[in-house]
Amino acid sequence: MNTLTKDTILKQIQQYIEPYTGLDLVASKSIAHIDIQEQQVHIHVKLGFPAASYQEKLDAALRETLAPLAIKSLTIKIDWEIQPHIVQGGLKPLPGTKNIIAVASGKGGVGKSTTAVNLALALQAEGARVGILDADIYGPNQPQMLGICQKPVSKDGKHMEPIISHGLQSMSIGYLVEQHTPMVWRGPMVSGALQQLLHDTAWHDLDYLVVDLPPGTGDVQLTLAQKIPVSGAVIVTTPQDIALLDVHKAIGMFRKVNVPVLGVIENMSLHICSQCGHKEAIFGSGGGEMIAEQYEVPLLGQLPLDIRIRQQADAGKPTVIAEPDSVLSEIYRNIACYAAARLSLRAKNAASKFPKIVVSE
């Protein structure tokens, strides 16, 4: 019988490639502790991303991987710790928020806002503290999607308290103006409004703040890239050629300002008839894979064209809340795990750990 050692166990663990990061748990620095007492082994796995739905699968996978070793008793503890990650241009982290994830699209009509709110709720369902900022000043949709019709309040007279819906912290210009009031503003006013919404909201201890951007590469996106500390971006597209043309611009913009693209989400990838089950790629197929391969970023997931997604968002209960155990919700949660895992591989942001130094005469 071979003597169990930490090195032996680590070497065996390396045989398992973790699907969300694409690395083994040793390479991703997820093995927090290994304790060996005779033939009894305790392993503590600490992931860098929330993964409530993945714990049981990971436990089973590790036990199968370690089965060839002579382990009499194996205890596995799996949890996670979400760290702040580096942002572009040396910007300072936003108080109360570890990471900002921008959700963008090259053009409108691809389901970006619906995807953004379900992504935020999926991250929360996986075990993270999450907020969402509606950065579409001209056409704010999040108030309706979250089922909110109230105005924010201020406790200190300086900052607005985020509106809570389904456990999600949120802020939108739609909370501050009447529903049918048009925002007839020029670019600088829109950029200023975005910064105010972001900095004047008292976000409470968020792991992730999802920012639902307007479509395109205009003033709001430029403000986000230059003045707001973004940890990563997610691009939403449909498979059709016209949508894919604009995706190139969106990815190019983020890369130009040194914001990492965490991956691409292909929305409306396949229509499944609710009556007969016939499947048809209405908007074409293979577009998401092509973009992901061309830019060497992950295809985070593919969502079908399903009437329930639209109906549930319109009713103020997005799919992850309305049908938490459905196949659609499982897709959203998988996308959330992939995006968060991709971000977890980025370098950590240690700026908040350093004391503020003031030099005076």
pLDDT band of residue 133 (cuts 50, 70, 90) is very high
Which residue, 265, 136, 318, 111, is CA-closest to 212?
136
- Give burial (CB, 10 Å; 0-12/13-18/19+) of 296: exposed
6-80: CATH class: alpha beta
- What is the per-residue pLDDT for 150? 86
% residues pLDDT > 70 (the chain): 92
Report the run of H or E that residue 7 belongs to, with start and end: helix 6-13
Q: Is the pTM of this model over 0.85?
A: yes
Model confidence pLDDT, tens digit, residues 44-99: 999 999 999 999 999 999 999 999 998 889 999 999 999 999 998 878 889 999 99
Quickly name the fold that domain 88-344 has: Rossmann fold (3.40.50)
Q: What is the mean pLDDT of the chain?
A: 87
- What is the per-residue pLDDT for 357? 52
Check pLDDT > 70 for residue 136.
yes
Look up residue 9 and give its two tokens: 């166990």
Model confidence pLDDT, tens digit, residues 319-346: 999 999 999 999 999 999 999 999 999 9
pLDDT band of residue 281 (cuts 50, 70, 90) is confident
Residue 158 has what DSSP assignment? S
pLDDT band of residue 182 (cuts 50, 70, 90) is low
Among 25-34, 284-293, 332-341, where is mean pLDDT lowest?
Answer: 284-293
Check pLDDT > 60 for residue 358.
no
Domain extent listing, the chain? 6-80, 88-344
Model confidence pLDDT, tens digit, residues 205-238: 999 999 998 877 677 777 777 788 999 999 998 8
Among 58-62, 137-141, 258-262, where is mean pLDDT lowest?
Answer: 137-141
Q: Give yes or no for a contact between 86 and 194, defined as CB atoms under 8 angstroms apart.
A: no
Check pLDDT > 90 for residue 38.
no
Q: How many CA atoms lie within 13 A of 17 on its CB side?
A: 3
